[in-house]
Structure 1
Amino acid sequence: MTGTEAESGTLTLDTTVMRKTVRRLLGPDDAADVLPPAADELAALTARLREHLALLMPAVDQLAARLPSNSIPRYCALACLGEARQKLRAAPSPVPGGAVAYARRLGRSLAALVDHHERLTGVMMCLACDQLIREDEESRPYDQVSPSGGAVRSGRIHARCANTVRRH
């Protein structure tokens, strides 16, 4: 158990831990070449993803409900919630690799919901190091650009992370 779990073994809403759980399955950038975990670890990881989703979904739903009904962030968060609910209701395919694909779909939904939660609460995470950007820290805007020229992920990074080389 991590330090963010209560003595009873229940999870707390800690988006940093949730992001770390997703990275264990998807790698730092949802890389297709990440090796899947062993079957027993995959089962535990899938259960953890489901627990994180069950904890985060009501929180995002409540935050979105506070926004005006014509709000784009509200619409996007609710659409993401709908996708996450569908993925939770689905079952892994019995074909080889089906359990890994299912877990990765859950992981992507969790990552998206964490992003929505952070946007709706005003929390800002560094896109380079996945650590919280505090108000007293210098940060810079950042757009991760795809080969086709569009921004894949935009947000902010710590000033200290601006010249850091990420190795995958």
Structure 2
Amino acid sequence: MNGSLDTALGAQAVDVDGMRGCIGRLLGPHAEIPETDELAMLTGVLRGHIESITPRIEQAALKLPADDVPRYCALACVGEARRKLTTTASPGPSAAVAYARKLARSLAALCDHWETLAGVVMCLACDQPIRDGEASMPYDHISPSGGTALSGTLHTRCAHTIRRH
């Protein structure tokens, strides 16, 4: 996946999967609060990921027309991520966890923008990219009011998956 992203955006390699793994340690369904030393290390890694991906997203977004919505959204996300990098956690362990989670959410949004700018199609059921050659199918959920409530693509293997939030 990352190779096609890099080619599409004309950029050096970005390890989105690795970034998402780091994010999952703080925000995933099985995330636990890390010990103080591990949390400090994880916060530093998140900051480094944000610092490395923001200029790449900005460069890719600036190639789009000035009135393009994905451009505007990506640039807003880049600005917000940079603002978060100018702050630090307040004193105390709970504040350090909250700050790390803010960075993780920001990095998750940046990863989403990176993939959107590259045209990566994500499965609506499992939130994983649909890679070339994988069986997939269109999905439209019609709302009771008549409009499409959710539209996108699913892996064929995910078509009968029940997703609970």
The counterpart of 1:35, out of the listed 32, 35, 39, is 32
Contiguous gaps of at least 5 residues in structure 2: 1-12, 142-148
Per the TM alignment, residue 128 of structure 1 is displaced from its structure 2 partner at its CA by: 4.1
Q: Which residue of 2 aligns with 1:6?
A: none
Larger Rg: 2
Structure 1 residues 105, 156: CA separation in 2 closer, same or farther (over 3 Å shift)? Answer: farther
Measure, in 2, the Cα distance between the counterparts of 1:96 and 1:37: 10
Measure, in 1, the Cα distance between the counterparts of 2:42 and 2:163: 25
Query: Which SS does the other structure have where 2:58 is aligned?
Result: helix
Matched-pair identity in %: 55
Q: Which residue of 2 aligns with 1:16?
A: 17
Per the TM alignment, residue 115 of structure 1 is displaced from its structure 2 partner at its CA by: 0.5
Measure, in 2, the Cα distance between the counterparts of 1:47 and 1:128: 32
Q: Does 1:69 align with 2:75?
A: no
Measure, in 2, the Cα distance between the counterparts of 1:132 and 1:122: 10
TM-score normalised by structure 1 residue count: 0.75
- CA contact 2:25–2:32 (8 Å) conserved in 1: no
Within 5 Å, give how 1:91-130 maps onto structure 2.
Answer: 91-130=88-127
- CA contact 1:133–1:139 (8 Å) conserved in 2: no
Higher share of residues assigned helix: 2
Measure, in 2, the Cα distance between the counterparts of 1:97 and 1:127: 33
Query: Which SS does the other structure have where 1:97 is aligned?
Result: helix
Per the TM alignment, residue 130 of structure 1 is displaced from its structure 2 partner at its CA by: 4.3
Query: Which SS does the other structure have where 1:164 is aligned?
Result: coil
Measure, in 2, the Cα distance between the counterparts of 1:63 and 1:89: 23
Q: Deviations along 1:41-90, whole A, 9 cap, x unmatched?
A: 11111111111111110110011000011111111111101110010110
CA RMSD of aligned residues (A): 2.5
TM-score normalised by structure 2 residue count: 0.76
Structure 1 residues 111, 71: CA separation in 2 closer, same or farther (over 3 Å shift)? Answer: same
Contiguous gaps of at least 5 residues in structure 1: 1-11, 144-150
Measure, in 2, the Cα distance between the counterparts of 1:127 and 1:90: 34
- CA contact 1:13–1:56 (8 Å) conserved in 2: yes
Number of equivalent positions: 145
Q: Which residue of 2 aligns with 1:48?
A: 45
Partner amino acid, structure 1, of 2:82: R
Measure, in 1, the Cα distance between the counterparts of 2:92 and 2:57: 33
Stretches (4+) displaced over 4 A: 165-168
